[in-house]
Amino acid sequence: MTGPIQRTTSASTADERAAVELEAEDRLAEEHEAGHVGKARPDWAPLPRRAGLKPTASPLLSLRTPISPRLKWLLGVLSFLVPLVVWSALAVSGWVDSTFLPSPGAVLKAGLDMAGTGELFTDLWATLQRVLYGFALAIAVSVPLGIAMGSYTAGQAFFEPLIGLLRYLPATAFVPLLMIWLGVDEPSKIAILFIGTVFYNTLMTADVVRAVPNSLIDVSYTLGARRGEVLRKIIVPHALPGMIDAVRVNAAAAWNLVVVAELLAAPSGLGKRISLSQRFLATDKIFALLVVIGLAGLTIDILLRITRERVGKWTA
């Protein structure tokens, strides 16, 4: 049979179907009359009605609606282009003294000059090295500690109160103390980075470890796994993508902290170069250094994001 699906009746002609429908309507009306249907609810005033959701004029205004890849790309470019245009306009118009706000061209030139003499790379490397040492040390301590806190209730009970307090002490507040203890050279920089990231990374690692479902742990025991095997083969792999997420967040903090530490005192580094430039009112250099700091941070973030996507393919 073709055509729209009919209700199951024995009626075949249109007239007969109409008769059946009428009969059904009559029956429903009778049931309503008799009070069997819809009479249990109190006789409230009818609820006011809201109009249904109206379609939006543009996809940009509707919540959580995907936009076209072209529009996405365009908006991404504009996000850099708009501030750049505003900046250029301000610099070129002469409203702002070029000592305070150098033009984009001047900044580019200052950057190229620093790259030409090689000092930019020396400073970048000095800063990167501090981040690598300090943050690597923080990861080496925080990951095992976080795993212990997330896996053992006793570990949680012992470490959580202290670390929960310590993370509220700003690392920068330790700078004077660390200079007294460790001097102005590398150890104090590395110590600031370590203090500034280790507690957060511990607590965030503990959180993702705690999020490993109990059912996965239980089922592993019924498959013959020992406790150590559950730690290595279940808890760590399940928590790994989340641990990398935590590292990504805290890498940004580490990158911020190293520059702050260098601003205060350091023999070299991007932060040191900024504070030197300040003395000579070389704002073009400061701007160029800020751009380099931003780009280097972004590169670190992209590398970690790629790692995260590789490792966490299995996550939904």
Partner 1 sequence: MTLELRGVAMDYTVRGKVTRALDGVDLEVLRGEFVCVVGASGSGKSTLLSLVAGLTKPTEGGIFLEGAPVTGPGPDRGLVFQAGALYPWRSVERNVSFGLELLGLDAAERARRVDWYLEETGLAAVRKSLPKQLSGGQKQRVAIARALACEPEVLLLDEPFGALDVQTKEDMQVLIRQIWADTGTTVLMVTHDVEEAVFLGGRVVVLASDPGRIAADVEVGLPAGRDLAVKREPEFLALRARIEDLVREQHRGHVSRVSAVE
Q: Given the complex with partner 1, which of 27 and 232 has the nearer CB atom?
A: 232
| CB-nearer residue toward partner 1: 70 or 313 | 313
Residue 5 phi/psi, 5° resolution?
Answer: -70, 130
How big is the CA angle at 218 (ends 213 and 220), to the nearest 5 degrees? 100
Backbone angles phi, psi at 54, to 5 degrees: -85, 145
Q: How far is the CB of 213 from partner 1 (least distance, A)?
A: 7
Q: What is the largest CA-CA distance in the chain?
A: 101
Answer yes or no: are the C-beta atoms of 193 and 140 closer than 8 Å.
no
d(CA 139, CA 35): 72
76 exposure class (CB count in 10 Å sphere: 0-12, 13-18, 19+): exposed
Q: Which residues bind partner 1 (CB under 8 A)?
A: 213, 215-216, 218-225, 229, 233-234, 237-238, 313-316
**3-class DSSP state for residue 151?**
helix
Provide the minimum distance between the beta carbon of 228 and partner 1 in the complex, in angstroms, as a whole number: 11
Residue 74: CB minimum distance to partner 1, A: 32
Closest distance to partner 1 from the beta carbon of 27 (Å): 25
Gyration radius (Cα) of the chain, Å: 33
Q: Which is nearer to partner 1, 83 or 213 (CB)?
A: 213
* Residue (31 or 218) nearer to partner 1, CB: 218
Closest CB 30 distance from partner 1, rounded Å:
24
CA separation for the pair 91, 79 (Å, rounded): 19
Q: Tell me the closest approach of the beta carbon of residue 251 to partner 1, in angstroms.
A: 23
Closer CB to partner 1, 72 or 232, in the complex: 232
CB nearer partner 1, residue 27 or residue 310: 310
